[in-house]
Structures are given as C-alpha cells and as structure tokens.
Structure 1
Amino acid sequence: MSISNTGLRGELLQQAIQEQIKQFIIEQHLESGAELPSETELASHLGVSRNAIREALKVLQTLDIVETRHGQGSFVGRFSLNALADGLAFRILFDVKRDLRTLRELLEIRQVLECGLVSRLAEQVTAEQLARLDELVQAMSEKAQQGQIFPEEDRAFHVALYQPLSNHLMIQILQAFWDAFHSVRDLLPGNVKSPIATVKVHQRIVDTLQAGNGSAAAEAMAAHFAEIQARLATENSAASSLEDC
C-alpha cells in the first residue's frame, strides 16, 4: 500500500510508516527473528524515501518490534517490554526528588498481581520447580552471609516463581516492573535492608508453596509487600524498599 499520496507530512507520515511496517509483520505472520524486506523494498512498497523508512525502523527498534543488524538488514524483534521498564524507571527518577508517589503506585500494581498469582501456584508447582526455587534461595543466602546483595538471583527467583502458570505475557510484565525498581535502586536515598532479611522473605514464600498452601503463600507475599510499603512511608526509606522487591 502506497502512502506517498496521502498528503501526510512530518510526524504523521512517520507514524503511518511505522504502522504499515507493523501491519506487514502481522499480515505476513512473521515470527521473531524473521528477516524483513530491505529498506529499498519497503520504500518502494510504501512510496516513501529510504530515509523515512530508516527513521521508522529506528523507532520500532527502540520498542523491540524490529532488530537491525549491521551489514545484515532488519529482522522482526523479540517484542520485549524493555521500553516499558525504561519508561517506568525514568518516571520514578523524575518523581523521586519530589515524592515517591510513582514508586508506591507501581509497587501497588505489583502487589495486586503477585498476591493474586502466587495463591494459584500451590496446586501447579512441580517438585522440580520447587527445587529450582530452593536453589535460588540458597544462592541468595550464600551471598547474604557475606554481606552481598543478589539482584541476579532475585530476578531469577521471580521469573521461576511464576513459570508454572505458563502465562508468558504476565511474566514479561512482572519482569518489566522488577527491572524498573532495580534500575533505580542505587540512585535512591536511604539505607539498604539487610540481605539476610530479604532471603527470609523469599524462603517463607517457598515454604508455603512446598506445603501446598495457596492461601498461606498469598499471605506470605502480602506480608512481604506490606513490609515494603511500610518502609516507603518516608522518602528516606526508598532504597531499602527496592532491595527486597
């Protein structure tokens, strides 16, 4: 479909080009990693310049819809939520000098999602998945004993926790929220909570799942978030709240 004679200019033309490229991906049923037509082919197909196509691809790349590989061309992206996480992190940093409203609101969304999801896990989690959670808690504990923090293990724990639900979009959303918190953790004021206390919070969640008690798992998660919310009561406690998210 040519959009050269639509009369669109500037930003509106760019938006139209981006929408056409996205529509092409959908209509052609292209999977992540599939190669897209060249800039020349897209320009000819849409009736616009190569420069306009190049700019559109750059925008779509920031959204993980398109991946451009130097010397190879453009490919369908991973459709991750990295852009969402980056936007949330910036919003938190923008607001933190005045108040922690955005941080509290994002935490509230996480609490609603995670408390609702964790209660369903008791009936679905397997012995193998529980063993993986135990392994991650043990890795956290080993670092905590040395006074170290463990962001990699923490993130892996939250990913592994919800794998039994097989809801890939939900996992991506929770990962984006987690990444937003931890990307600004070190820049916020306040004292970091003891890593040993953080380990205990995660261990309690695993213990309730191992007991097959969904309601107790939800209570453990709720208590975890209640503790975080309490530490967010004043601006000086912001950093410690992020340490055990």
Structure 2
Amino acid sequence: MPDFPLPPPAFSGRSQRVVPGAPFDWLRQGWTTFAVAPGPWLGLALLFLLLELLPLLVFGFAWGLPLSLAVFPLLAAGLLAGCRRASETGRPAFADLGAGLRAGRQGLLQLGGLHLALQLPLHLLVFFLLRRGPGPGLGEADPLTPLLGWSVALGLAYSLLPLISLVLTSLFSLALPLVLFHRMASLQALAAAGVAGLKNWLPCLVLGLLLSIMAFLATLFLGLGFLVLIPVWAGAMYAAYRDIFVST
C-alpha cells in the first residue's frame, strides 16, 4: 500500500502555445517588475554585470570568455529567482543572485558547460573574422574578386551568427527556470525548452529581436542601459516561462 499523501508528480516540462502578441506583454511585465522596485533591481543588475565581466578583467579574453559563458546560467538563474521573489513580495533580494548555487546547482553547472560548448565557437568565429579582415588578395591583379568573395562570406556570417546565437540564448533562457524551479536535468530541460521554442517560434523570435534592438540602444549610453535592460529581460523571461510552462 502506498503512503499517503502521495507526492505530486514530477514536472514534465509540457508546454503550450501562446498568442503571437505575447512578447509585448512579457516585456510589459518585465518593465513593471523593474519599475516597482528600481533601486534593488539596479543593484542586482550591477552585481550581475560585475560578476559576468570579472573573468574577462582578471583572465583576459582567452580564458575569461569561456568562464563568463560557463557561469552565465548560474547568474541568470539568480535573476529569475529575484523575479519570483518580486512577484510575491514586490522586490528582489541580493541573496537571490546566489540562488543557482543553492538550488539546482548541478543541473545549472551542466547547463553552463553546454552553454559554453555551443556559444564559444560562435564567439571565436566572430573574433577570427574581425581579426583576419580581407586578408591577402587585395594586392593581386584583380583585387575586386577576392574582396567580393570575402564581403559575401562576411555578410552571410554576420547575418547567420547573431541568429544562431539568438536561438541558443532563447533555448537556454527557457531551460533555466526548468532546472532552477523544477530540478529538471539539464538535457531534459533543454529538450523541453526546444519543444516549447518550436511551438512558439514566432513569439520567441519577436521577443529575441525586440531584446536585441533594446540591447543595441543600451550600448549607446556607455552601457548603462544594461542596468535597466537586464531586469526587464529577466522579468520578460520569467513571464514567458509562466505563460508557456506553468499554466499547463
């Protein structure tokens, strides 16, 4: 005979489709989350940025970039934990940034390794393209042919690489709360996030493009705009997670 009360069934990661206009509501919720308690969120975003940039400052690009990519899921999980606390109390806590170390640490570390393995080649390819430049051939008898070929290749690369990175970022953003809040294994969470992303490819694409435009605008103010964009992004992803997963 089983013992009562029976434990609730494990979260399966089953997702549902949302309306195409959902990204605008997610961003509105993200802004509202920030606007209710801007002070704590600005401090949390500043701490997040410092911890993300610290490996680059200490170890340089070669070693710092892999470390920064690997710890991103741990730190981003803390922002989502702050969003959940803010939905209950109105404001996040600085301790939320360490939520990934306290809950779901193993899964988030595995997610960080996968994030590193998938994102690092894209970053290195962009770095290689920037360093290499047009290269030899400009001094040949007909310099336009290699220059034209390089321009086409460069255009394709810079068109496809941000799109691939955007897809990967969306995938990991949807997987994060599944690992943090539901203790799903990293590969299981990524699989569930992939299914959810395919079901909602248009809302996810629209949200990613809107956030990309906002990220570009944030750089125009010496990067200070990211102190606002980071909480808005976290709030929007938390709202997306609740719409796509929790209500099913």
Structure number having the greater helix percentage: 2
Q: Same fold (TM over 0.5)?
A: no
Higher RCO structure, 1 or 2 (CA under 8 Å, sep 6+): 2
TM-score, length basis structure 1: 0.29
Structure with the greater alpha carbon radius of gyration: 1
Q: TM-score, normalised to structure 2's length?
A: 0.29
